[in-house]
Amino acid sequence: MKLHNPRNGHPKGELGRFYRDALDCLQQAGFRFLICGGYAFEFYTGIQRRTKDIDLFVLPQDVRGILDALQGAGYRSEVSEPNWISKVYSGQDFIDIIHNSGNGLCPVDESWFAHGEDANVLDLTVQIAPVEEMVWQKCFIMVRHRFDGADVAHLIHARGDRLDWGRLVDRFGDHWPVLLSHLILFEYIYPSQKSLIPRELIEELLDRQLAASRAAPDDAAVCRGTLLSNFDFQADVREWEYLDPREGS
């Protein structure tokens, strides 16, 4: 699949050259990366939208080398937040170099590359991040000014019949209630498309939820809201003295 033809209003001129030159630089240097963000979303759903940048997902151990390679090509770089994101700049334009999710729960590992899909982006053959990992990461983005629930619904609508649901559930681990919440929303949004989600999966997760609801409350006063939005749950950990599950993780 070929993405982002300039005739359709996609990056061109200096911005397009910056993106393409940076990707070509990394390929020539032998670094692996996965395209995510708006490019990957269009690849899987066909929904096209302008993006302010390009997201590259990389292995944590490759971040320093990637930044050095792009600096050597004349671009400015910075480690924005060491636990998950760095940036590379050409003037005011930038590329996000991401090796984890902001909450620390979705690190990039070899499985991302094993399940990525090939595509043509800016006339280069690249790998697109796996749809399962995109759903996994986006399910946790529930900030006041950004909620990726619509993206999750669109990804399931486009790829639900081909998703590796078992692998997706494994990715969530103990955080499976977050996935369940999005699956319930999906069935609410698209009542005619319920068959895209395996019935046995819904039943299994609902049984888990029922058992969890019947269990005694945890002794520890934890607020998991910070895993969904650090911004919106500051009062809980700073003023109400809930424990932040990210501490010490």
**Which ranges in 116-243 belong to alpha helices (H)?**
131-138, 149-159, 165-172, 176-189, 199-214, 234-238
Structure tokens that stand for 128 in this block: 């697109």
What domains are defined for the chain? 1-129 (3.30.460.40), 131-215 (no CATH), 218-249 (no CATH)
Query: Residue 135 above 60 pLDDT?
Result: yes
Q: Closest Cα partner for 84 from 97, 95, 71, 66? A: 97
Provide mean pLDDT across the span 233-240: 96
More confident residue, 183 or 17: 183
CA proximity to 120, closest of 58, 35, 38? 35
| pLDDT at residue 11 greater than cutoff 60 | no
| DSSP secondary structure string for all residues of 78-92 | EEEETTTEEEEEETT
pLDDT at 4: 46
Q: Is the predicted pLDDT of residue 141 greater than 70, yes or no?
A: yes
**CA-CA distance, 184 to 179, in Å (whole number)?**
9
* Tens-place pLDDT, residues 170-188: 999 999 999 999 999 999 9
Q: From CA 38, how far away is CA 54, in angstroms rounded?
A: 7
Residue 166 has pLDDT above 60, yes or no: yes
Half-sphere exposure of 56 (CA within 13 A, CB side): 27
Chain centre to alpha carbon of residue 101: 7
Residue 1's pLDDT band (boundaries 50, 70, 90)? low
User: Mean pLDDT score of the chain, rounded to an integer?
Assistant: 93
What's the pLDDT score for residue 122? 86
Which residue has tokens 């983005």? 141
What does the block give as tokens for 102?
A: 């902001």
Q: Inform me whether the pLDDT recorded for 221 exceeds 90.
A: yes
Place of tokens 């910070």: 226
Picking from 115, 205, 122, 221, the residue whose alpha carbon sits closest to that of residue 162 is: 115
pLDDT for res 7 = 34
Mean pLDDT for 139-144 is: 96
Report the distance separating Cα 74 and Cα 243, nearest Å: 44
pLDDT at 96 over 70: yes
Distance (Å, whole) CA 6 – CA 109: 32
Identify the pLDDT of residue 180. 98
pLDDT of residue 171: 98
Indicate if the pLDDT at residue 64 is higher than 60. yes
The pLDDT value given to residue 137: 98
